[in-house]
Structure 1
Amino acid sequence: MLEILYRDEHIVAVNKPAGMLVHRSWLDKHETRFVMQTLREQIGRLVYPIHRLDRPTSGVLLFALSSEDANKLCRQFEQKFIYKTYLALVRGYVAGKGEIDYPLKIRRDKIADKFSREDKEAQAAITRYQSLKTVEMPYPAGRYSSARYTLLQLTPQTGRKHQLRRHMKHIFHPILGDTQYGDLHQNRALAEHTGVSRLMLHAQCLGFHHPRSGDYLEIFADTDEQWKGLMATFGW
């Protein structure tokens, strides 16, 4: 059963579990569980995905209950009228707040993007960040004798593929548990000493205007048990 965060006659939002695909994909033909199909069976209605979260990312995921409402909501994403915040656990200490303005080249999947152009210019990509908490743990991580971590709130101003993960790598503070852009030594140390190996990226809040009433809504998703356990271990 998916955790339903909000539902009315026009939209439904769920707390997507880490490791679950949003919908069926030819990139993983052997997967049998998808958020879209699970939600459809759970509420007995067709659902229309408005956006996506990477498979290892958890948090707020929004669906419409009609194609008309889906089109209205998708336009809000296209016109950047959406407010999104994420929680991310990253390597090292990050102080204060700031903005990462670093254009990103399109990254192609071997199958899904096989027909896309490789010569496109890098696209504008902006992420704002704010440091929430820091901790130093007394165990080695890679070449370091101890492990330092920062809990960040990330607010993307654009929606490029893997933007948050790539931006954090760009400033040398990769997200823990990121097997594609992260630090494998840091990931291994975290898993060995805490048991947590998932990508530590969580879609915390999604703000948008309701497709019918026009009212502004903000939907929040709580973190899962792995997040809570890690926060307890860190004394946060």
Structure 2
Amino acid sequence: MNRVVLGLSYDGHDFEGWQTQPHGRTVQDRLSKAIEAIAHDTVSIVCAGRTDTGVHARQQVVHFDSAVERPLTAWVKGVNNGLPPTISVKGAKLLDPEFHARFSAVSRTYRYYFYSSPVRDPFKRFMTWVHYPLDLQAMRSASACLLGTHDFSAFRASQCQAASPVRTLHAMNLFEETDHCYFEIQGNAFLHHMVRNLMGSLMEVGLGRQPVNWLKQVLESKNRSLAAKTYPAQGLSLWKIEYPEQYGIQDLFS
């Protein structure tokens, strides 16, 4: 069996998340059909991180096993021929069976894009619109308490299936561009809706509705009902999956 590893990018607007569903309107469903057309067999695809409905991926990594011999170009161009324009295989490689798209990853990086403006901009469809001005420095200060290892139950969706709510955030930075901003968040793993729930609470601070130290109190409470609402999906992108250098995963996206 060959372990085939693919690097993907996709626009999540038209999909109900990554994971396969009976109705077939997911990224995994569309990718499986395109791969099976090349493999002439069924495949079981494993991804680095499952994205929710409407969430995008700049760098998603998947693997599957296949007994057929195909040139790497078939796993890229051939599979892309069977995909909609909103999903693209960026690269392919063969790796030893010890590689696992999910369990070999050492960290994951998400970005949440947003902009503040009196009116909505239709060209910013990958960002979340905030009607009122934001205190970005207050948001930076509030986010500092999230770094490190914590119980993130206060920012965990009720349907989350993770065995433990404990996660480690390695970095969380707010960047300002000319007409938009984004948080870049790197962690070992993330709970269901965790980033969007964090953004909802950070926005409460940025809008002046809550003080800077409120976020730390919510985190320590481990109580989801004390945190703010889940923020929209369109601003969130799975930005990068980090692996040990020996696997050369970044080559898939170069």
- Note closer, same or farther for the CA distance 1:64–1:121 as it changes in structure 2 (3 Å cut): closer
The CA deviation at 1:74 is 2.9
Q: Is contact 1:87–1:202 with CA below 8 Å preserved after alignment?
A: yes
The partner residue of 2:46 within 46, 49, 52 is 49
| Match status 1:24 vs 2:4 | no
Match of 2:104 in 1: 76
Q: Is contact 1:93–1:134 with CA below 8 Å preserved after alignment?
A: no
Match of 1:94 in 2: 136
Alignment of 1:156-171 (within 5 A): 156-171=187-202
Point out which structure has higher relative CO (alpha carbons under 8 A, 6+ apart): 2
Match of 2:121 in 1: none
| Match status 1:128 vs 2:163 | no
SS in 1 for 2:166: coil
| Match status 1:12 vs 2:40 | no
SS in 2 for 1:84: strand
Q: Is contact 2:109–2:240 with CA below 8 Å preserved after alignment?
A: yes
| Match status 1:35 vs 2:27 | yes
| Match status 1:104 vs 2:115 | no
Match of 1:199 in 2: 234
Q: Deviations over 1:77-99 (max 9, x none)?
A: 4xxx1342424326524346864
Bigger CA radius of gyration: 2
Q: 1:16 and 1:174 mapped to 2: Cα distance?
A: 31
The partner residue of 1:153 within 154, 175, 184 is 184
Q: Deviations over 1:150-173 (max 9, x none)?
A: 322222343222221122223335
Give aligned pairs, total.
168
Q: Deviations over 1:192-217 (max 9, x none)?
A: xxxxxx6211122222248xxx3342
- Note closer, same or farther for the CA distance 1:82–1:216 as it changes in structure 2 (3 Å cut): farther
The CA deviation at 1:104 is 1.9
- Note closer, same or farther for the CA distance 1:163–1:219 as it changes in structure 2 (3 Å cut): farther
Show structure 1 runs of 4+ deviating over 6 A: none
TM-score by length of 2: 0.51
- The one-letter code matched in structure 1 to 2:151 is P
Match of 1:195 in 2: none
- The one-letter code matched in structure 1 to 2:107 is I
Q: Deviations over 1:118-141 (max 9, x none)?
A: xx98534536322222567xxxxx
Match of 1:192 in 2: none
Question: What are structure 2's unaligned runs of at least 5 residues?
Answer: 67-95, 116-129, 207-228
- Report % sequence identity: 7
- Note closer, same or farther for the CA distance 1:172–1:61 as it changes in structure 2 (3 Å cut): same
The partner residue of 1:58 within 47, 56, 59 is 56
Q: 2:165 and 2:20 mapped to 1: Cα distance?
A: 29
Q: 1:22 and 1:71 mapped to 2: Cα distance?
A: 21
- Note closer, same or farther for the CA distance 1:150–1:173 as it changes in structure 2 (3 Å cut): farther
- The one-letter code matched in structure 1 to 2:189 is T
Q: 1:14 and 1:220 mapped to 2: Cα distance?
A: 9
Question: What are structure 1's unaligned runs of at least 5 residues?
Answer: 1-7, 137-148, 188-197, 222-236
The CA deviation at 1:11 is 0.4
Q: Deviations over 1:163-185 (max 9, x none)?
A: 2112222333599xxxx513xxx
